[in-house]
Amino acid sequence: MPTFVNYELPISQYVNNFEYEDFDHTVESYFEILAISRLSTDENLLHKALFNYELLDLATFITSVNQRYILDIQLEEETEEAFVRRFLDILRRNRIDVYAFVLDEFIRTEKGSHVINEAEKRNMERFFTIYDFDKLKYVINPQINMTLKTKYVGIEINAKIIRQWDGINNKPMKGNLPPIILGSVENVTFSTEDGLETDLQKVCFSRSEITETGILIKPFSDEVDLVTTANDYRYFENESDELGEFSGLLIKRANFTIPFNDHIISGIGNNILLNNNIILGEIDIQIISSDETNIVIQTSNGEQKIATKEFEKFFKSKGFDKFEIHNFDSFIQIRFEKKG
């Protein structure tokens, strides 16, 4: 399989022989890297601290510095640049390191050398005008970008979530096997920042069972996508769970077969989220008529009147972690969630 790989270490253009494994993640080390990467001199670091940092009350600050460092810095009628040069000269004559001075006065929230804390990250964001301090990891970490030239990828889902179904014997495939999922793609890319990415064109997905339920799912071949976030999907009323960390498959449409008592019921699934830990989504089942407690639907044995409570008992008995039944004019919608 043709593979193209690009490796780079962005910080190496500023720091010679930098090794991420040896980086200690202290506030001093992060400050030094940010200062060096911005080509900051002692003079412009001090200027940033004194004149660009949250409207510093300079007179009060100088009085405090004079007392704590035993200095004699005076405010005079002069330009900012001239004052900074004079301030810098006084620090140097008193053997006060500029990096240490700025760190102690504007960045640190704890004494001594220590791994940078969240408050210090925020201070450094303000000082260096960084939108997100944590993005700095893409500067000091090795960055790898890779492209795989391939036409197909296999996707494996844990059999504890869904498993292959033996249609001949009408039972789970012997050996509790994961489903066969083969995706048609153009390229597969990997980057340190974005992880593994590809665009699925079509997916061959074997008929599978939601494990230990008897409920079968067969996705439409062109209605399956890879997703890395699920913030747009909410299934349950009064539900505040965030699915933002979800990554897996989004099955936009699928056929469902539900073995309810002695009947077989068919439904259409919508926006099914599936990965190695969870399956959740919606199943729409067409109804002929309904009232407050019953529905009439078409089954393998013809029209059947079924109590809504019987549906609830069925899903509860199959081990679903969450489920809701919503009654609409022409269909009922079953919203479900099952974890492995």
Same domain, 219 and 321: yes
Same domain, 303 and 177: yes
CA nearest neighbour of 46 among 94, 81, 78, 77 = 81
Q: What would the pLDDT profile of 103-144 be if each residue is shown by its tens digit? A: 999 999 998 889 999 999 999 888 888 777 877 877 787 777
Same domain, 110 and 168: no
Residue 174 located in a structural domain: yes
CA nearest neighbour of 283 among 240, 242, 320, 230 = 320
Same domain, 124 and 154: no
Q: Determine the structural domain holding residue 73 and report its residue range.
A: 19-140
In which band, very low, low, confident or very high, does the pLDDT at 216 lie, cut at 50, 70 and 90? Answer: very high
242 vs 274: which has the higher pLDDT = 274
Same domain, 326 and 197: yes
pTM (2 decimals)?
Answer: 0.57
Q: What would the pLDDT profile of 57-78 be if each residue is shown by its tens digit? A: 888 889 999 999 999 999 888 8
Mean pLDDT of 209-237: 80
Same domain, 48 and 117: yes
User: How much is the pLDDT for 240?
Assistant: 46
* φ, ψ of residue 20 in degrees (nearest 5): -60, -35
User: How much is the pLDDT for 114?
Assistant: 92
* Cα separation, 207 vs 256, whole angstroms: 10
Same domain, 267 and 302: yes
Residue 310 located in a structural domain: yes
Same domain, 181 and 302: yes
The strand pairing partners of 183, in sequence order, are 153, 203
Spell out the residues 6+ positions from residue 296 whose beta carbon is closer than 8 angstroms to its own: 287, 288, 289, 290, 303, 304, 305, 306
The strand pairing partners of 270, in sequence order, are 253, 282
Residue 4 located in a structural domain: no
**Assigned token pair, 159:** 């059999």
In which band, very low, low, confident or very high, does the pLDDT at 245 lie, cut at 50, 70 and 90? Answer: low
Does residue 282 register a pLDDT over 90?
Answer: yes
Same domain, 172 and 246: yes
Same domain, 279 and 205: yes
Residue 3 located in a structural domain: no
Burial 196-217 (b: 16+ CB within 10 A, else e): eebebeebebbbbbbbebbbbb
CA distances from 78 to 50, 144, 187 (A): 14, 50, 62
Does residue 237 register a pLDDT over 80?
Answer: no
Largest CA distance in the chain: 97
Number of folded domains that form the chain: 2
Q: Which of 140, 170, 200 is the last residue of a domain?
A: 140
